[in-house]
Structure 1
Amino acid sequence: MKLEHAGRRYNRWQPFFTLTRKEILRFLRVSTQTLLAPIVSASLYLFVFGATLGERISVLEGFSYAQFVIPGLILMGVINNAFANTSSSLFMSRYLGNIVDLLVTPITPPQFIFAYTLAAMIRGLGVGLAVWTISLFFARLPWADPLAALAMAALASFLFAQFGLLAAIFANSFDALSMFTNFLILPLIYLGGVFYPLSILPDFWAGISRLNPLFYLIDGFRHAVLGVGDLPLHTAFTVVGVQTLLLFAVTAFLIGRGYRLRN
């Protein structure tokens, strides 16, 4: 719908497209840090687990260790970069005070959220695609259900884009913001089954691992890629879908009220 505004036709979606473009250009301008650095880090993981251990050990019958670990590394790149994009961008806007300029524009809270989220998803999925491309030098994946794998990766990027917005809202300093990554996201990723399946754990630790919300993302994505997993694929999608809706609802509630954005 277009309205007459200041003598010209006004597109109410223009603020959304403008903010989305701004966020995409922001991470592209520093692509060495936002794209190249995580790709290099993932390449080191791939070299260690692909070239050195890939064919020597196996934790899943019928697959090399490289094939087992690559889906987790792909999703790790998606998660880390989707979170980093929204958290760093929104926090810097709050820290520098230019968030006020954005709040006085005719942008609605849903447009605000989805503009940041879409840019984060593009960055996260782009890094995931690059990691998969590099992984082709170490192992080939069967991609049992590519549409389900894409859907799970998209959910992961959307979920952690919301988490990044929440982290940016609640963080009071750069150190506080980095704590979300170092003391929450990375431990949950490493303990979520990236490097091992739950089936090899004792029952007690396997039960504890099921409380890890990232386990369902990682196992669901690996199940879609390899065709086998610790959980049925529909269970992983159900749990991840509920997590995503809850986190989005909290984010929409806080941003809709401008919580800590005007301070």
Structure 2
Amino acid sequence: MSSSRSPRGTPVQPEVMSLRAIVTKEVRRFWSVLGQTVTAPVVTALLFLLVFSHVLEGRESGYPGVAYTQFLVPGLMMMQVLQNAFANTSSSLAQSKIMGNIVFLLMAPLSARDLYIGYISAALLRSTLVALAIFVFTWPFVHLPIAHPFALLAIMLLAAGTMGSLGIIAGIVATKFDHIAAFQNFLIMPLTFLSGVFYSVHGLPELWYEISLFNPFFYMIDGFRYGFFGTADVSIWRSLAWSLGFFAATATTAIAWLGSGYRLRG
């Protein structure tokens, strides 16, 4: 198969062209409905901030020198990162399967790893845009320090990558959109809300505190807060280890299922 050439005349392999095409397709897909994919999560986060900051005004955050509204914003940012990374990959893959155009992706000269990179790249971009938009729109009301930018970035990328991978798994398993909704309503949403978005886990009873330590979403949110404040409920290294382990497990499963064609080829 002949190779195309880049604007500088360098040969471009078909695999690179196909990967570029799928990334472009996925980005255009969520960009064409930016009001739903980026604006809506920002509005949702602002509404949560408005309600909880009013109802719980004066509440201690559990972090020395950190106001409750400051404590709340990183949790809302990570909550939207998790939900939107999952939604981007799961809805795209499920839609391709249901509409029948998944066959064109399977026929392209792409490995399972290339397919995975294409889907995850768009999920990372969408979730990053959502996080940045929330940060910008909440800045006039809540000023956040950034104590450890590299830890913050590492946790966010691991979290978005994990949820994008989980979205691929859900998209492969799903045979209709109701199945995606079931994943969101009975797995993603409960684990997110019970991960310390609105509270410090040290304020929980002992039993619920111990249970929270087995929720991988808790480590993503807690590590993300550490990036802003330099303090957290658990060690940042523990958060990074849990986040990296969960990412490795979901990414390995997603790539293996993409490669096997499990529930993709009919």
TM-score, structure 1 length as denominator? Answer: 0.94
- Equivalent residue for 1:57? 59
- Equivalent residue for 1:29? 32
- Equivalent residue for 1:4? 2
Q: CA deviation at 1:46?
A: 1.8
**What do you get for the CA RMSD once the two structures are aligned?**
1.7
Preserved CA contact (<8 Å) 2:112 2:256: no
Q: CA deviation at 1:183?
A: 1.1
Separation in structure 1 between the aligned mates of residue 121 and residue 89 of structure 2, nearest angstrom: 10
Preserved CA contact (<8 Å) 2:219 2:242: yes
SS for the counterpart of 2:257 is helix
- Equivalent residue for 1:85? 88
**Any residues of structure 2 matched to 1:61-140 within 5 Å, and which?**
61-140=64-143
- Equivalent residue for 1:196? 199
Q: CA deviation at 1:55?
A: 4.7
- Equivalent residue for 2:217? 214
**Counterpart amino acid of 1:17?**
R
Q: CA deviation at 1:137?
A: 2.2
Separation in structure 2 between the aligned mates of residue 31 and residue 141 of structure 1, nearest angstrom: 26
Preserved CA contact (<8 Å) 1:46 1:138: no
Separation in structure 2 between the aligned mates of residue 32 and residue 64 of structure 1, nearest angstrom: 31
- Equivalent residue for 2:239? 236
**Any residues of structure 2 matched to 1:165-176 within 5 Å, and which?**
165-176=168-179
Q: CA deviation at 1:261?
A: 0.7
**Counterpart amino acid of 2:218?**
F
Please point out which of 252, 258, 262 is paired with 1:259. Answer: 262
Q: CA deviation at 1:79?
A: 0.8
| 2:46 counterpart of 1:43 | yes
Separation in structure 1 between the aligned mates of residue 209 and residue 21 of structure 2, nearest angstrom: 46
**Counterpart amino acid of 1:128?**
A
Separation in structure 2 between the aligned mates of residue 143 and residue 10 of structure 1, nearest angstrom: 40
Q: CA deviation at 1:57?
A: 1.6
Preserved CA contact (<8 Å) 1:159 1:248: yes
SS for the counterpart of 1:234 is helix
| 2:227 counterpart of 1:224 | yes
Deviations 1:81-139 (A, max 9, x none): 11110000000000001000111111111110000100011001110111111121221
Separation in structure 2 between the aligned mates of residue 26 and residue 198 of structure 1, nearest angstrom: 38
**Counterpart amino acid of 2:2?**
E
- Tell me, which stretches of 5 or more residues in structure 2 are unaligned? none
- Equivalent residue for 1:141? 144
Separation in structure 1 between the aligned mates of residue 2 and residue 103 of structure 2, nearest angstrom: 25
Separation in structure 1 between the aligned mates of residue 143 and residue 40 of structure 2, nearest angstrom: 24
Separation in structure 2 between the aligned mates of residue 40 and residue 198 of structure 1, nearest angstrom: 26
SS for the counterpart of 1:155 is helix
Separation in structure 1 between the aligned mates of residue 108 and residue 156 of structure 2, nearest angstrom: 32
Preserved CA contact (<8 Å) 1:53 1:66: no
Separation in structure 2 between the aligned mates of residue 158 and residue 59 of structure 1, nearest angstrom: 28
**Counterpart amino acid of 2:214?**
L
Deviations 1:161-194 (A, max 9, x none): 0000000011122111101111111110110011
